[in-house]
Amino acid sequence: MLTPNDKIYIAGHHGLVGSAIWRNLQQRGYNNLIGRSHRELDLTDQAAVKRFFDQEHPDAVVLAAAFVGGIMANSLYRADFIMQNMMIQCNVIGEAYRHQVKKLLFLGSTCIYPKDAPQPIKEEALLTSPLEYTNEEYAIAKIAGLKMCESYNLQYGTNYIAVMPTNLYGPNDNFHLENSHVMPAMMRKIYLAKLLHDNQWAAITNDMDKRPVQGITGSHSHQEIRDILAKYGIEDNKVTLWGTGTPLREFLWSEDMADASVHILLNVDFADIIGIPQYSSVCFGTKADGSIDRNSSEGRGGALPQLGEIRNCHINIGTGKEITIRQLSALVAKAVGFEGEIVFDSNKPDGTPRKLVDVSKLHSLGWTHKIEIEEGVERLFRWYCSTLASNGR
């Protein structure tokens, strides 16, 4: 059990989820937190990660760092998506084990599930049929990560929990058009199309200065800005979005995700998930202080044969509710105040047709979401506007 004095390392603490987890822990009185920016610590560098763990010796780790993006980025950078994520996971999980951290929370994604998985998707659907092609490399990396957690637990008696969040959005989201997810990309496109129609060039140049698009900033000519925005389907009072608009998606407010993650980090153990309260002590033996003794001659190590196969120990995190991409675009347009045209380009890929997760395991562990999509979209747009009025991201 973690205490407020324990040192918790949050990998990816500047990101969408990592920053929210950091704030949530602080609100609960956990202030012994450590984080490193990518510039300070490259998690794909094995030697650097080892040095960091040697110096800091964290008691717990939250692995929220990842190389992420939407359909376009997944299609363009397939090798990067599998290699960078695998390196990050191997380095952090490996050092967490070598430094005997008490607890590790690994954040994956519901893209791990088959493209045609029965809906809503239960954890047991993992590896039952082919993945969605457009994000296959990222999904395979995340499947490997959750299997690392599961396998370390089974072989070494560790307490590593893997959670699979649905589509996330919220403060510190990525609005850069080249590699952002569906909601922030859609929101920025619709906002810029409205500004073009309203001839609000001061606001447009400010937006482009804060988040340049392929090197085009607010200092470029109006025509150069129009040309680059048109490449991303942004025109005067008109936005073109990828796909048919019919795919169904589930969205979870990032601060809800953080709350669920911290709830699991502080209150849920691997033994709780597999339903065997004394699993680790039975398999590995215990020390005088009650902690697991990995080197005990009494414990055999690994899963007991009589327990059968232990798999699918990860936890879905979501709302259990879904919305079409077309319906989402209407919510975003309403929040932005956009009254122009939204067009869907059916020649572009839709991605997975539907992806709703079953959250019954999560609910049984004592957590449910709080922010509904209508409120969340409005909150996200307010946050985005606040970054344009400050030195925000």
Evaluate whether 353 touches 248 at the Cβ level (below 8 Å).
yes
Q: What pLDDT, on a 0 to 100 scale, did the predictor assign at position 321? A: 96
Q: Inform me whether the pLDDT recorded for 238 exceeds 50.
A: yes
Contact 320, 359 (CB under 8 A): yes
The DSSP H or E segment spanning 354 is: strand 354-355
Rounded CA separation 219/234 (Å): 19
% the chain with pLDDT above 70: 89
pTM of the model: 0.86
Q: Is the pLDDT of residue 184 over 70?
A: yes
Q: Is 9 a catalytic residue?
A: no
Give the whole-angstrom CA distance, residue 308 versus residue 281. 18
299 pLDDT band, cuts 50/70/90, is very low
Name the helix (H) or strand (E) containing 85: helix 78-98
Average pLDDT, stretch 53-73?
87
The predicted-structure confidence for 65-105, as pLDDT tens digits, reads as follows: 997 766 666 667 789 889 999 999 999 999 999 999 999 99
Please tell me whether the peptide bond between 114 and the residue prior to it is cis, using omega within 30 degrees of 0.
no
Encode pLDDT of 206-227 as tens digits. 999 999 999 999 999 999 999 9
Contact yes or no for 261/17 (Cβ under 8 A): yes
State pLDDT tens for residues 4-47.
999 999 999 999 999 999 999 999 999 999 999 999 999 999 99
Instruction: With beta carbons less than 8 A apart as the criterion, state whether 161 and 105 touch.
Output: yes
Mean confidence (pLDDT) of the chain: 91
Catalytic residue among 9, 30, 113, 138: 138
CA distance 165 to 110: 6
CA distance 158 to 56: 19
Residue 297 pLDDT: 41
C-alpha distances in Å from residue 391, one per residue of 184, 205, 380, 381, 385: 18, 15, 17, 16, 11
Q: SS3 for 196?
A: helix
Of 351, 109, 346, which is closest to residue 247 (Cα–Cα)?
351
Percentage above 90 pLDDT, the chain:
77
Whether the predicted pLDDT of 151 surpasses 50: yes
Q: How far apart are CA 332 and CA 121, in angstroms?
A: 26
Q: What pLDDT is stored for residue 280 in this prediction?
A: 60
Helix axes of 46-56 and 78-98: crossing angle, nearest 10 degrees:
30
